[in-house]
């Protein structure tokens, strides 16, 4: 059944730490909507079976929420990745699912370069020296210019990363399931041949989404194929790599370092050796956690809400088949 015109009696649940910002814009644009907000699942006060629309990050939900929302007609993911929603057994085939694809190019490219420079310029040592009031120039640091980056993933973020790295004077290669010309890259290779391409790269940069098709793609064979001076960067999903193999490669000096915004399981276990490795720079999955997020997300949400309420679901932006 299509939603009532203008949103009358349409119930929207926004589940996010910054839900009041989304609520403010939704109420202004659609006065007839019934908007409910909650920072976490524990804070939800509206009966789940009355919710028509859910706006949330996948990491914030559980299957109890999805199963309980038995009349849920549309989920607007606040992230590009929708794997958490797709993994929920309670997700019904008739529930529309849309993503935030398209807004993460800028933050992800900046995060990648931050991690690249953080590792190559040994920012951990610089911070330690500053705390110790030590003025030590250390060893010369390597330029990014003239180096080669192998980026895993040819989507919006991958292309944005490639274009920025080209602007810095790097040679860029993209690995994807279907090799094709991609803006921002000098050439492309099949993802299935990743281990063969890895020896050429000074930086291997993982931007892959989650899902069974990408689980463990960055395997032990890939880490063993990388050159000893190479750096591994992951801003995609932790499940896409063989984490024990990465730890072995770092511990044994088979690669020079890693910059990780994501790990296999979050939060990172207290006993993980990654915490103490001097050649590892960690950030707690904040690659897309930028101050202007809501402003970038709002056009997608508002535009899709207009289409949803008008009964034009087929025209909604970033529809994800499932």
Distance CA 126, CA 134 (A): 9
In CATH, which of 3.40.50.720, 3.40.710.10, 3.40.50.970, 3.90.1150.10 is domain 105-282?
3.40.50.720
Sheet strand arrangement including 257-260? 187-190, 171-176, 148-152, 203-206, 231-234, 257-260, 280-282
Which tokens belong to 242?
A: 């063989």
Amino acid 5: pLDDT: 53
Distance CA 176, CA 154 (A): 6
Tell me how crowded residue 77 is: count the other CB atoms within 10 A of its CB. 24
Distance CA 309, CA 10 (A): 9
Amino acid 112: pLDDT: 98
Q: Mean pLDDT in runs of 10 for the chain (322 residues)?
A: 66 98 98 98 97 96 97 97 94 98 97 98 97 97 98 96 98 95 97 97 96 95 98 97 98 98 96 98 96 97 98 98 96
User: Bridge partners of 56?
Assistant: 15, 77
Q: Are the folds of 5-103+291-315 and 105-282 the same?
A: yes
Amino acid 102: pLDDT: 96
Helix axes 105-120, 156-167, angle to 10 degrees: 50
Pinpoint the alpha helices (H) of the chain.
Answer: 19-29, 63-68, 83-86, 105-120, 123-131, 156-167, 194-197, 220-225, 243-251, 293-309
Helix, strand, or coil here: 73? coil
Amino acid 214: pLDDT: 95
Amino acid 8: pLDDT: 72
Helix, strand, or coil here: 241? strand
pLDDT digits (tens, 9 = 90+) for 160-186: 999 999 999 999 999 999 999 999 999
* Cα dist from 60 to 122, 154, 260, whole Å: 34, 26, 21
CB 32 within 8 A of CB 8: yes
Instruction: Tell me the domain boundaries of the chain.
Output: 5-103+291-315, 105-282
Amino acid 6: pLDDT: 56
Which tokens belong to 140?
A: 């010369």
User: Bridge partners of 172?
Assistant: 149
Q: Is the dihedral of CA 310, 77, 209, 119 positive or negative?
A: positive
Q: What is the CATH number of domain 5-103+291-315?
A: 3.40.50.720
Helix, strand, or coil here: 60? helix
């Amino acid at each position: 059944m299509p939603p009532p015109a203008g949103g009358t009696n349409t119930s929207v649940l926004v589940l996010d730490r910054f839900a009041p910002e989304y609520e403010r814009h939704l109420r202004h644009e659609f006065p007839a909507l019934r908007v409910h907000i909650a920072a976490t699942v524990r804070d939800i006060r509206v009966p789940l079976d009355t919710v028509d629309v859910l706006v949330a990050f996948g990491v914030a939900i559980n299957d109890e929420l999805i199963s309980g929302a038995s009349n849920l007609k549309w989920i607007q993911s606040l992230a590009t990745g929708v794997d958490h929603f797709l993994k929920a057994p309670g997700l019904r085939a008739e529930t529309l699912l849309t993503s935030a694809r398209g807004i993460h190019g800028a933050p992800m490219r900046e995060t990648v370069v931050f991690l690249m420079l953080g590792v190559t310029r040994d920012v951990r040592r610089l911070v330690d020296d500053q705390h110790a009031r030590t003025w030590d120039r250390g060893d010369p640091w390597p330029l990014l210019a003239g180096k080669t980056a192998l980026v895993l993933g040819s989507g919006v973020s991958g292309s944005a990363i490639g274009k920025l790295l080209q602007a810095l004077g790097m040679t860029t290669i993209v690995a994807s399931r279907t090799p094709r010309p991609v803006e921002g890259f000098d050439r492309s290779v099949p993802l299935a041949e990743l281990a063969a391409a890895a020896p050429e790269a000074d930086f291997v940069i993982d931007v892959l989404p989650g899902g069974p098709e990408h689980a463990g793609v960055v395997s032990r064979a890939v880490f063993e194929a990388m050159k000893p001076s190479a750096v591994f960067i992951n801003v995609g999903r932790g499940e896409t790599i063989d984490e024990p193999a990465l730890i072995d490669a770092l511990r044994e000096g088979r690669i020079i370092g890693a910059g990780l915004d994501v790990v296999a399981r979050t939060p990172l276990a207290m006993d993980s050796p990654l915490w103490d490795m001097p050649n590892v720079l960690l950030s707690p999955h904040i690659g897309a956690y930028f101050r202007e997020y809501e402003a970038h997300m709002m056009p997608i949400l508002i535009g899709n809400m207009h289409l949803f309420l008008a009964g034009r679901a087929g025209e909604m932006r970033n529809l994800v088949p499932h």
